[in-house]
Amino acid sequence: MAPRWRANGLVTFLSDYGLQDSYVAQVKGVILSHAPQATLIDVTHLVPPQDILEGAFQLATVWRSFPPGTIHLAVVDPGVGTARRAVLLGAENHFFVLPDNGLATFVLADAASVLAWHLDRPAFFRSPVAPTFHGRDVFAPIVAALLSGYEPAVLGTPIDASDLIRLPIPIIRREDARTVGPVVSIDRFGNCRTLIRREQLPGPPDRLVVQCNALVIRGLARTFADVPPGHPLALIGSHGGLELAVRDGNAADVWAIRRGDLVEIRIEGS
């Protein structure tokens, strides 16, 4: 028997809409018109335009910070108006309302189990639906319907979660005394974040050498203050993966690191 999904009134909202235009406010207005009791929390609207990978990473870092029953609305949708599906996901008693374009990649990889529905019931959409603004006209009304108590099976047709679009997850290679993986996101402080987790490190923190391009760091720090101002460091960041930073500085700028650059971790002397 399918579980009953109950929204708790909280909605997180992530997009690449920016802050210059009224797009974010329009989406919120549609939700609040039907569910004025909702609490809307902005995750970020500064995902670079059409950057699905960055949106997927940001979504993965935030959803477990919220209680069960939270709805996560995520819209980075370069394929809006095409045949790409609008979907509703249920994972660990959280809802995700988003396009099926890879935006859920890291949630799908991390969640214990996922149920999925294709949002194919136009009766629940705003009318008319603008083919360039599904965030307002398709996703926002679905969020409002969930807040109003509608079950997912009423809002869409069940689909196999294994058929959902996934981005190619950046490969992490483990070879003897060496682990290699790419930088997947750079935050506003210039911290360069990877998906390499503590258990994937090839040895104890004090014996490791971390290298990315010309940057070479010996040993892992626990926090930024473990090194003097202006010095680089490597540490396990708050997202759970290895990141490269400069205390009171910008590692990406100082060391010319870009997303996709490879980070190698090896045991000293190997």
Which pLDDT score, from 0 to 100, does residue 42 have? 98
> What DSSP state is assigned to residue 136?
I
Q: 176 or 129: which carries more pLDDT confidence?
A: 129
Task: Note the pLDDT of residue 36.
Answer: 97
Which are the contacts of 8, defined by CB distance < 8 A and separation ≥ 6?
Answer: 67, 68, 69, 70
Parallel, antiparallel or unpaired: strands 86-91 and 208-212: unpaired
**Percentage, residues of the chain above pLDDT 90:** 91
Measure Cα distances from 168 to 28, 89, 103, 171, 216 in Å.
31, 20, 11, 8, 28
Angle, alpha carbons 135-108-163 (nearest 5°): 80
Mean pLDDT computed over 45-68: 96
- pLDDT at residue 1 is higher than 90: no
The structure tokens 């890291």 sit at 106
Token code pair at residue 104: 């859920």
Q: Is 21 helix (H, G, I), strand (E, B) or coil?
A: coil
111's tokens:
């969640």
First vs last Cα of the chain: how many Å apart?
Answer: 54
Q: What is the mean pLDDT of residues 99-110?
A: 95
Q: What are phi and psi of 56, to 5 degrees?
A: -65, -40
pLDDT exceeds cutoff 90 at 171: no
Can you list the domains of the chain with their CATH numbers? Answer: 10-163 (3.40.50.10790), 173-267 (2.40.30.90)
Mean pLDDT of the chain: 94
What local confidence, expressed as pLDDT, does residue 270 receive?
Answer: 65
Q: Specify whether the CB–CB gap between 35 and 144 falls below 8 A.
A: yes
In tens, the pLDDT along 11-38 reads: 999 999 999 999 999 999 999 999 999 9
Which pLDDT belongs to residue 67? 96
Q: Cβ–Cβ contacts within 10 Å for residue 170, how many?
A: 16
Question: Is 50 exceeded by the pLDDT of residue 199?
Answer: yes
Q: Considering the entire predicted model, what is its pTM? A: 0.89
